[in-house]
Every structure is written in structure tokens, then in C-alpha cells.
A and B are shown apart, each in its own frame.
Chain A
């Protein structure tokens, strides 16, 4: 098991000097994920907070090969890079012994919405790459608008809470399940509070031949209006309420839940921790809270029933 000290001693491929907000979860997540490959990697970054705050010309925070081109296409871009790598290797134009890894990084907007087609296409083709979704449950870089990963009941600038409408009325898209249905070699969900799990999953994702998908909860203190010091704690609360289960699926079937809360907390604990759900405290909106609890329970029960490999949680 990697210790925090050992992790810290590894080289930082994303350096300080970026412009991410204080308390943003993106940076600690990447500190872990970028350390999990033993080979040099190429990053294809979708449009979003990370891309904008780390590549501000003439500076760059990246100490690796990095490309950004548009919103929604990071998986298609990485397809091209990885195919070129294979082509040059097989033609003897690139050293055979030299191994590279490929990482697409996107927000939930890109992964769930505009980039879902390119993501689905890239994993169906079987490119060897890791797709990392930093899920802050909305379009952070454009000001917090709803995405299809925004949970039901959350208020957003384009689904504001009012007397007429109590925030977003649709359920969140379950992208991890969608990726699992692609039967790709590896799909995992994790969060920064359980960093050993995150590290191990990233490591496994890089080592897995073929496509791997990592869905990581990434609180946005700026748009969620939560205290910056609470970022990591919030992700633990998400796991303890089963809002954000920590699990992995190999080859579309072998499911392991990596963290089971000793005592499952009610979703109200999660909802009360963030102003975007404040309006749900009103008694006329209680039905939404009930609905959220019901859906979370259903999803959790599904995971429990679908778990095939509970014993191998430490592998």
C-alpha cells in the first residue's frame, strides 16, 4: 500500500501556479491520478476549468505532453494520438520499447453531454486510454449551469429554485452505468477522500489494456458555495450517504463495492451541506427529498445485488 509520503515524493506533472479556485477538488484528484502511471503520459484535456486554468499562454502548468482543442471531443482527440502511437510503433518509426499512456480528462458536462458520443465511440473502438471524468455535477467553467449529471433538486442558474420550480427536475444521468454497459475492461467510481482507492483505481486503469473509465466526484466550492476546507470531507459524506458509491466494474460484469458505509446516512445530511439544495428544506419540497432518498436507495441496492466479487476489495 502506497503511503501519502511515498505518493508525495513522486514527481508533480501538474505544477502549482494554475488558476483553479481555492479548495477545488480537481487539483488533489490530479495529484493522485497523474502519479499512478509508471510511464510518461499524454493528456487530452476537454474544455473546462482545468484546461482554462492550467494553459494560460505564455505559461503552462503541465510538465507532460498536453493538448486541448474543443468542448466534448477529448476522447476523439486521444483516439487519434493513440492510433498514431500504435501506427508509428508498428512501422518502426517509434521505439518499440518505449511505453506511453494516454489520458483524456473531461468534466461531467463533456463526459455526459456533448462528449458522450465521442466517448462512447472511442471506448467501443477499444483504444488504449483512460478517460477521467471530474464530476462536479454542473458546468462549472460557464457559471454552474445544469448538466445531465446535475442531481435532481439542485438549483442552478438555468434551473433556479423558485416557488414554481424547485430546481432541476430530472434525475442525474448514471454515466458509470452507461460505461459499464459498454463492457469495457475497467470502469471505476471513486472520490478524493479515499485517495488510496483513487490511486489504486487510476493505476489499474493505466495498466488495463483497452479503455478504462474513471468517474470521480469533484466538489466545486465556488459554485456549490461550500467552505473550501470542506471539499474532501464532502466527498466522504457523499459516500456515507450512498450519493456517490465507491465501486469498480471489470469487463462490464465483475462488480466490487470498495467502500460500504458502516452506517448509511440519510441523504438529507448531504443535501443540508450545500446551499444549492437549500430550498428542499421547505416542507412543500419534502417529496423531492423523499424521491432522492428513494432513488439513492434503489441504486445502492442495485449495486449490492450486482456485486459479484465482494472479497477482492483489496486487489
Chain B
């Protein structure tokens, strides 16, 4: 029996974690993810979640403790954001290289300096090459659903790869909404048991974890590591479908919103999709052929599927909530444009880079209208198009 609760995104993560039942929870407070850990800690204190909590003294130790706990053969969760995630950087590579199915909730937040506690995706985007699967959530419901799926994906024997689940800091993390919760027994049944490949606690079968590799082996090991990430493509799809079959909310790599007959579209991730959909509806009622693609899975990046979903468009605006100095547009833009490059029909849609919402700056209905107008103009004027990064809602 499913039930409805009014929860914010952080509470939704905690509820999902309580139901998935980790063996070890690693806590280190970083705003805006702190309430996730506090709520899980209260579950443990109240005695109904039978897990050990480690109150790590730093984010660096938090991810290290996750690695130790996971290599000891059980289920592990932590939550962090921004500076905390950045401080974990070195160890995020280790976690994925050791193929440890750790799950971390990331309440996506801007990076210093200047210090800012509000939403953007700089923290997760800075970790996009560290070998973690990255899921992004539009709202609390998706956050809850993603956390549950994250464990099943991470621990899948063909994957065994850590997963981070993003929710927009102080937007999704703190906004109260209705959430459909799955019954705990059904969550347990859906996620299944954690079956580690090895355990440091198994003294009958000693293992050496984290060997030194010379040039003789390192390259092969790194390429082998790709397998988990590549297999995740299939597993993410299967898990999303099974989740839908069981709980009536289906998940794939992305959500296509009124894209089929669209000429113009916006591509983005996470909470901004809500307002963008409203603008799509409004413009469509005026007869305009517009749509939206909300990406859920950034790693592994679904190049093939994205190409298929976008190739018929005239022009695309890719909205990044992260600024990559010295780069040719943001990471989502780069990946999207690259995905379209090998289209067989060389009638490539125009793809334009935008950056919005840094440090929690609003993106409004008007802003989305402007973006659609902007790409329509650029497309119809047929002037010589230069790819220039545009900033949304930035004071000049």
C-alpha cells in the first residue's frame, strides 16, 4: 500500500534510505544536505533503523569511511553538497575504481568562492569525470524514487559502481510537496539484498584491495572499470522500467516533454524543468512547436538516445546550471552537442549554450519565454551563427 506524505526533498531522501536500510550511514554536515543526515540519525536513535552511523569529522573522512564500510561488504549511504563533495574529490575516484556500490545524495549547491549555499550544479559537474553514475531529480518525488533505484543500480552485479543522486539545494531539498511513498516491504523486495563481490570481513578469503599498479596493468584495469559504467546503461533502463511496473512511475535516461513534433526545445536538468514545462504548455497553446528534454542520467551520458530524441529539431537551447571557465559552453551543452555530431542526416539542429541559476539565481517563466524566442530568432534569421555563451537572468 502506497501512502502520501508531505515532505521536502531532504526528508524524501531520508525516508527512502530508511526503507532501503543501509548498514552504515556516514554523516558530515554540509548545507543544504544536513537535514538528510539528521533525519536518518533520528531513525537510528528511535531504534527502528538498525544501522551504524559514523559522524565523520570531515567530508574527506566521510567518503573514506564510506569506502571502508562498503569494502567491508555492506550497504552504505552518505549525503553532502558543494564544498563537501569537492573535498571528497580524490576519494570519489577511488570509490568508483574499487567498484564500490556507495550511494551519496547531493543537495546540489554552488561552489566557493564567493561562498554561497544555494542551488546550482557546479558541485556535481565538477565530479562528472570521477566514474560515478549521476542521477538528477526534478522534485522530491523523483528524489525519493531515484534514491531507491540508485541502490539497485549501484549494487547490480553487472554494475557495482557508486551512484550520486542530485536534488537542487534549497529548492528541492527544502520545498514541501506531496510524495507518494512505497511501502517498506515493497522497497525491500524491489532493491533486494546487498551481494558484495568481496568483503574485508571475510577472514577465510583474504583480499588485497587497492594494489599498486605499474604501466603493465594500470591501463587494462582502467578500461575494465568502464564495464560497470557501460553496463549501467542497460541496468538503469531496466530498473526504471521495473520501478514503473511496480509503482507506476516510470524512469528512463530523460523525460521528453512534448518533443515529438517540436521544432524548438530546451534541454536541462533538475528543478528548473517545472517552470519550463509550463512555458512549453503556454507557447503550445499559441500554436508554437516547442518542447523540453529533462535529463535524468548525466553519467553514463545517453548520447545515442539523446541524439534520437533531438535530431528532428530546428534549434536547441541547452541550459547549464554550472559555469566551466575556459570551456566552450557548459558540460551539458558540450555533451549534447557532441551527441548530435555523428547524425547520419547532417541536417544538424543548431545547439546553443546558456548558463542560468548560479548560486540560486531564479529562472522565471519570462526567462524561458525569452530563451525560446532567442533560439527561434537565431534559427530563422539565418545570420551567420556564432556560438556564444548566453547568461540567463544576469544583471549586466
Specify which chain B residues have a CB less than 8 angstroms from the CB of A76 in the assembled complex. Answer: 56, 60-62, 64-65, 68
Q: Is B58 touching A117 in the complex (CB atoms < 8 A)?
A: yes
Distance in angstroms between the alpha carbons of A58 and B70 in the assembled complex: 23
Any chain A CB within 8 A of the CB of B353?
no
Q: In angstroms, how far is the closest chain B Cβ from the Cβ of A96?
A: 13
Q: Is A88 touching B74 in the complex (CB atoms < 8 A)?
A: yes
Any chain A CB within 8 A of the CB of B55?
yes
Any chain A CB within 8 A of the CB of B124?
no
Chain A residue nearest in CB terms to B213: A57
| 8 Å CB interface, B77-101 against A | 90-91, 94, 98
Q: Is A80 touching B212 in the complex (CB atoms < 8 A)?
A: no
Q: Is A83 touching B65 in the complex (CB atoms < 8 A)?
A: yes
| From A52, A80, A86, A120, contact of B67 by CB (8 A) | A80
Specify which chain B residues have a CB less than 8 angstroms from the CB of A44 in the assembled complex. Answer: 68
Given A64-B206, A77-B67, answer yes or no on A86-B52 (Cβ-Cβ < 8 Å): yes
Any chain B CB within 8 A of the CB of A124?
yes
B residues contacting the other copy or chain, number (CB 8 A)? 44
Any chain A CB within 8 A of the CB of B309?
no
Any chain A CB within 8 A of the CB of B324?
no
| 8 Å CB interface, A58-73 against B | 58, 60, 62-70, 72-73
| 8 Å CB interface, B40-70 against A | 50-52, 54-58, 60-62, 64-70
| 8 Å CB interface, B18-32 against A | 23-24, 26
Specify which chain B residues have a CB less than 8 angstroms from the CB of A65 in the assembled complex. Answer: 200-203, 206-207, 209
Q: Is A80 touching B211 in the complex (CB atoms < 8 A)?
A: no
Specify which chain A residues have a CB less than 8 angstroms from the CB of B202 in the assembled complex. Answer: 65
Any chain A CB within 8 A of the CB of B72?
yes
Q: Is A60 touching B200 in the complex (CB atoms < 8 A)?
A: no
Specify which chain A residues have a CB less than 8 angstroms from the CB of B60 in the assembled complex. Answer: 72-73, 76, 117-118
Specify which chain A residues have a CB less than 8 angstroms from the CB of B64 in the assembled complex. Answer: 69-70, 73, 76-77, 79-80, 118
Any chain B CB within 8 A of the CB of A90?
yes
Q: Is B90 touching A70 in the complex (CB atoms < 8 A)?
A: yes
Distance in angstroms between the alpha carbons of A86 and B50 in the assembled complex: 11
Q: Is A83 touching B71 in the complex (CB atoms < 8 A)?
A: no
Any chain B CB within 8 A of the CB of A121?
yes
Any chain B CB within 8 A of the CB of A196?
no
A residues contacting the other copy or chain, number (CB 8 A)? 48
Chain A residue nearest in CB terms to B50: A91
Q: In angstroms, how far is the closest chain A Cβ from the Cβ of B70?
A: 7
Q: Is B207 touching A66 in the complex (CB atoms < 8 A)?
A: yes
Specify which chain A residues have a CB less than 8 angstroms from the CB of B61 in the assembled complex. Answer: 73, 75-76, 79, 117-118, 121-122
Any chain B CB within 8 A of the CB of A40?
yes
| From B66, B94, B203, B206, contact of A80 by CB (8 A) | B66
| 8 Å CB interface, A27-83 against B | 40, 42, 44, 51-52, 55-58, 60, 62-70, 72-73, 75-83
Q: Is B208 touching A62 in the complex (CB atoms < 8 A)?
A: yes
Given A52-B212, A64-B206, answer yes or no on A80-B217 (Cβ-Cβ < 8 Å): no
Q: Is B91 touching A84 in the complex (CB atoms < 8 A)?
A: no
Specify which chain A residues have a CB less than 8 angstroms from the CB of B70 in the assembled complex. Answer: 80, 84
Q: In angstroms, how far is the closest chain A Cβ from the Cβ of B275?
A: 41
Distance in angstroms between the alpha carbons of A87 and B24 in the assembled complex: 7
Any chain A CB within 8 A of the CB of B166?
no
| From B26, B58, B209, contact of A68 by CB (8 A) | B209
Q: In angstroms, how far is the closest chain B Cβ from the Cβ of A285?
A: 39
Given A57-B217, A86-B52, A90-B50, answer yes or no on A77-B65 (Cβ-Cβ < 8 Å): yes
Any chain A CB within 8 A of the CB of B3?
no
Any chain A CB within 8 A of the CB of B214?
yes
Any chain A CB within 8 A of the CB of B349?
no
Chain A residue nearest in CB terms to B193: A93
| From B94, B98, B201, B217, contact of A81 by CB (8 A) | B201
Q: In angstroms, how far is the closest chain B Cβ from the Cβ of A272?
A: 37
Specify which chain B residues have a CB less than 8 angstroms from the CB of A58 in the assembled complex. Answer: 211, 217
Interface centre among A60, A62, A76, A125 (most CB of B within 10 A): A76
Any chain B CB within 8 A of the CB of A300?
no
Q: In angstroms, how far is the closest chain B Cβ from the Cβ of A249?
A: 22
Specify which chain B residues have a CB less than 8 angstroms from the CB of A68 in the assembled complex. Answer: 209-211
Any chain A CB within 8 A of the CB of B73?
yes
Q: In angstroms, how far is the closest chain A Cβ from the Cβ of B209?
A: 4
Specify which chain B residues have a CB less than 8 angstroms from the CB of A125 in the assembled complex. Answer: 54-55
Specify which chain A residues have a CB less than 8 angstroms from the CB of B200 in the assembled complex. Answer: 42, 65, 67, 81
Distance in angstroms between the alpha carbons of A42 and B68 in the assembled complex: 11
Q: In angstroms, how far is the closest chain B Cβ from the Cβ of A312?
A: 33
Q: Is B52 touching A83 in the complex (CB atoms < 8 A)?
A: yes
Any chain B CB within 8 A of the CB of A85?
yes
Given A58-B217, A64-B206, answer yes or no on A88-B73 (Cβ-Cβ < 8 Å): yes
| From B74, B201, B210, contact of A55 by CB (8 A) | B210
| 8 Å CB interface, A1-49 against B | 40, 42, 44
Q: In angstroms, how far is the closest chain B Cβ from the Cβ of A253?
A: 24
Q: Is B24 touching A83 in the complex (CB atoms < 8 A)?
A: yes
Given A73-B60, A73-B91, answer yes or no on A60-B69 (Cβ-Cβ < 8 Å): no
Q: Using CB atoms and an 8 Å cutoff, list the residues of chain A in contact with chain B.
A: 40, 42, 44, 51-52, 55-58, 60, 62-70, 72-73, 75-88, 90-91, 93-94, 98, 100, 117-118, 120-122, 124-125
Shortest Cβ-Cβ A-B pairs, 4 listed: A80-B68, A121-B57, A76-B64, A80-B69
Q: Using CB atoms and an 8 Å cutoff, list the residues of chain B in contact with chain A.
A: 23-24, 26, 50-52, 54-58, 60-62, 64-74, 76, 90-91, 94, 98, 200-203, 206-214, 217
Supply 14 further A-B pairs (C-beta < 8 A) apart from A90-B52, A117-B57, A117-B60.
A42-B201, A57-B211, A57-B217, A64-B206, A65-B206, A77-B64, A79-B64, A80-B65, A80-B72, A81-B71, A81-B201, A83-B69, A98-B203, A121-B57
